[in-house]
Amino acid sequence: MAINILMPALSPTMEEGTLAKWLVKEGDTVKSGQVIAEIETDKATMEFEAVDEGRIGKILVPAGTAGVKVNVAIAVLVEDGEDLGASPAAAKPAAAAPAPAAVVTAATPAPAAPKVAGARVFASPLARRIAAEKGLDLTKVAGSGPHGRIIRADVEGQTALAAPKAASAAPAPVAAAPAQGMSTDTVLKMYQGRAFTEVPLDGMRRTIAARLTEAKQTIPHFYLRRSVRLDALMAFREQLNKGLETRGVKLSVNDFIIKACAMALQSVPDANAVWAGDRVLRLKPSDVAVAVAIEGGLFTPVLKDADAKSLSALSVEMKDLAARAKTRKLAPHEYQGGSFAISNLGMMGIENFDAVINPPQAAILAVGAGIKQPVVLADGSLGVATVMSMTLSVDHRVIDGALGATLLAAICANLENPLAMLA
């Protein structure tokens, strides 16, 4: 029987993608788990594996096609010896695909409905292995593969804690419709007669626009500002880097900031939290996201368990994540999640700024440049110190003013006493 191969959802936020490259052609035999295509999401280019065995009967979406909606048929898989033309159901897969896709998109909770007790769970071997390693209950996982089959992308970004959420009978809150800005026609008329070049939006820019609009419309931001003296940290960093030369490791100020934030989240655990719609989730590990600018947008790769890692380990991991972010080679689980984020524009000469929170995170630290300034020393005399400005953007639904101030004070204390971060 012919099976439609559908455009997969390779991340929880993916709604459409670009079919960048086919790695098979019509007539090729494929096995379950074999990589058959490369798909560009809003953030990365990812491999797409077959979940069933058979022969590629027909490719419906050619390579290079952009804007392919999730769950739309992109190819037809047939059994060996089966004639595609003799299968009326498979002859028109593209026309039949949009109808079920609309149902999946419009009713998000529906796929996650618990399966009937004792019913067979359809999942690829790779998805079953990943689920076993993570302790996931596959009966609570929605499948995005053909006929609802569970594939790798469905389980890769989940944890065992996500299972109760799927089984919850509480209805999802309905978000208010976002306010709309000027229409395209209105703006074009406004600049009629002026020279300009239209720049089409790619998937990443559309996602950034949507998420940041959502953040500013739905998250009650407030801002806390403090300055920190970096002289002790700079001297300590220089000393450590001399000792790390033989290992090829060079610590940056940003590495110290990541460590300081991770440790502060442990000392102020109530602030290590995210907003989950109708509840707050308090995390135990310090998973710190760091904004990385790339051409056309940005990534926020997450350093998991940052509190438990050494400065040198954080430095090596951050450099690897940043390098792969710039080539869009990060997997979704490497840039999703985290309870706290850092955006550092100090290396670009920015003295201070306010960053926008990336939901569902509850806070982001905007870091400015370290600048030599006149200061009053402990003995009352005037001196010169390297001072860095920081602004903590906070979600007031999760963190109140006093709690946010305590967190920022802990970050500053760690940066001004860097030796304590090694204890």
Q: Which amino acid appears at position 237 of this protein?
A: R
Residue 333 falls in the annotated catalytic set: no
3-state secondary structure of 227: strand
The amino acid present at 82, given as its one-letter code, is E
3-state DSSP assignment of residue 11: coil
Phi/psi region, residue 245 (left: phi>0; alpha: psi -120 to 50; beta: rest), is alpha
Structure tokens at 277: 């719609």
Question: Could you say which of 147, 221, 333, 396 is catalytic?
Answer: 396
State the catalytic residues.
Answer: 396
